[in-house]
Structure 1
């Protein structure tokens, strides 16, 4: 069975619930503090809970943050392909969470930035595997090792790009190198509009598809309106399952993890996206980045 492999950073998310963001130079009191394993962890856990084999190829640190991440991955059977880095801990992201579920991020880097093309190659991708990459890995010092790794992948490996906010602002040549190897694009609506400069969201998947590798698929998430799936020259709107959100952190990564796992298990794109929409709908009703439902929970929800 194809595997879901991830190259991106695993970080600890420190979630601080606040009533509202303070003005610059001001002060705010947190109503609660929670620590979760985040970043690539969310996608991998979602894939594993769906039933796919999931492997992380990113770098891990030695210390309490690294321990927390590895414990979270181990609970769901996610495999690590690389060695732990000595003498440095994993980084963390402070997330300021408002009552509206809007989030603001502050990130401190650590061992997760210490990757090489050789360390990523420990994933040993095979034809049929789905290799996830993040736009946030295209900053130095992780950019060049990731690009070198991508250029060594064998034919038949799917490269899944989650562009994130920064991708549209990268130099055109860097975008070209990444998109030419990308066979699955998965993003939110703002990221799709930013890359294409198109206001009409329905036009963005086809425009993105023209810049990707032959036979690629494009998935654009649009919140409570579901997602657009475009492949083989046609687009389909997949309805969402709107829920009252208490925490949207990790919903997009949950969607990606479930959708890719369903593909690994043999589902078509439309079926995979439907189950991913359901999983994301469940995830936003739970706190934290490890909120992905199990396959049985998605079955029950859809029933």
Structure 2
């Protein structure tokens, strides 16, 4: 089985459900507070594993209860955690999610995710990068690490899926060295401010894959624009939908599916993910995906 390596963030999500955000100086009551495991890297790794993919997670957590919870949850979801390090100087990262009318606003505290440096990655990999068919990256670890890993993969001839979220304008500088760049529509406009989304994907055929939420996915196949429609569902919690898409898309690619097929597969997984609460808890299993029409 072809193996995927996710290098990125692991955290605990503190989800607060409320009707609206408070105004300046105002105190309001929230409906509920729930704790979930998250982090874009860990989310994408779990998405792959729940779809029966083989995936390793490389990242860092704190030496605390949240870190133990993250590791236990990854292991329970069949993600290999041998390359998940523990920081002795900072706590596990957290994301504070405000869930309002089935949509979300998120504040991230990186914590141990900032310890995923180039030196840390080199130490954790121990010269075994060539074992992987594809490496997935996101922007919740230091930018310098992203550039280092992309260069390493380029030299080793290993495919890279780079999900530039949260958006980083420097992502455009890596287009010559990444296999796929997968921003959402807003991130795409921030990365390529001089271009429309249609112009951007046309400039990077079969490489720039832009997610459009309810409108699906847009890319250019070298001949024409291709828009793969989303699956209509009733959303309960959109947290982690993009991560589900990226994990499912990566898995479909290493399985040999075309970009259109991979996008359709990933759209289906993302649609199912928003029908449940929690980024990782809502991610579908392969059995659930196959039963969904």
Alignment: residue pair count: 286
Pair 197,115 (structure 1): closer, same or farther in 2 beyond 3 Å: closer
Match of 1:51 in 2: 52
Match of 1:84 in 2: 86
Match of 2:242 in 1: 252
Could you tell me whether the CA contact under 8 Å between 1:2 and 1:129 is conserved in 2?
yes
Match of 2:276 in 1: 286
Once the two structures are TM-superposed, the CA of residue 126 in structure 1 deviates from its matched residue by: 2.2
Task: Report the more deviating stretch, 106-115 or 88-97.
Answer: 106-115
**Cα deviation code 1:38-58 (max 9, x no counterpart):** 111111111111121111111
TM-score (norm 2): 0.90
> Runs of 5+ in structure 1 lacking a partner?
211-215
**Cα deviation code 1:132-164 (max 9, x no counterpart):** 122343xxxx22233233322243211111112
TM-score (norm 1): 0.87
Once the two structures are TM-superposed, the CA of residue 300 in structure 1 deviates from its matched residue by: 0.7
Distance 2:30 2:249 in 1: 34
Match of 2:95 in 1: 93
Task: Report the more deviating stretch, 20-29 or 252-261.
Answer: 20-29
Match of 1:150 in 2: 150
Once the two structures are TM-superposed, the CA of residue 175 in structure 1 deviates from its matched residue by: 4.0
Task: Report the more deviating stretch, 288-297 or 264-273.
Answer: 264-273
Once the two structures are TM-superposed, the CA of residue 199 in structure 1 deviates from its matched residue by: 6.9
Pair 175,29 (structure 1): closer, same or farther in 2 beyond 3 Å: same
Q: CA RMSD of the aligned region, Å? A: 2.1
Q: Of 261, 264, 287, which residue of structure 2 is paired with 1:296?
A: 287
Distance 2:86 2:166 in 1: 29
**Cα deviation code 1:73-104 (max 9, x no counterpart):** 111111121432235331211111101x2222
- Does residue 122 of structure 2 align to residue 131 of structure 1? no
Match of 1:239 in 2: 229
**Cα deviation code 1:102-132 (max 9, x no counterpart):** 2222222322211232332334322762211
Match of 2:178 in 1: 182
Distance 1:276 1:221 in 2: 10
Q: Please give the secondary structure, in 1, of the residue aligned with 2:225.
A: strand
Match of 1:108 in 2: 109
Distance 1:2 1:233 in 2: 30
Question: Structure 1 segments of 4 or more deviating over 6 A?
Answer: none
Could you tell me whether the CA contact under 8 Å between 2:8 and 2:42 is conserved in 1?
no
Could you tell me whether the CA contact under 8 Å between 1:4 and 1:129 is conserved in 2?
yes
Task: Report the more deviating stretch, 153-162 or 251-260.
Answer: 153-162
Could you tell me whether the CA contact under 8 Å between 2:43 and 2:240 is conserved in 1?
yes
Distance 2:261 2:24 in 1: 46
Distance 2:250 2:223 in 1: 20
Pair 158,17 (structure 1): closer, same or farther in 2 beyond 3 Å: same
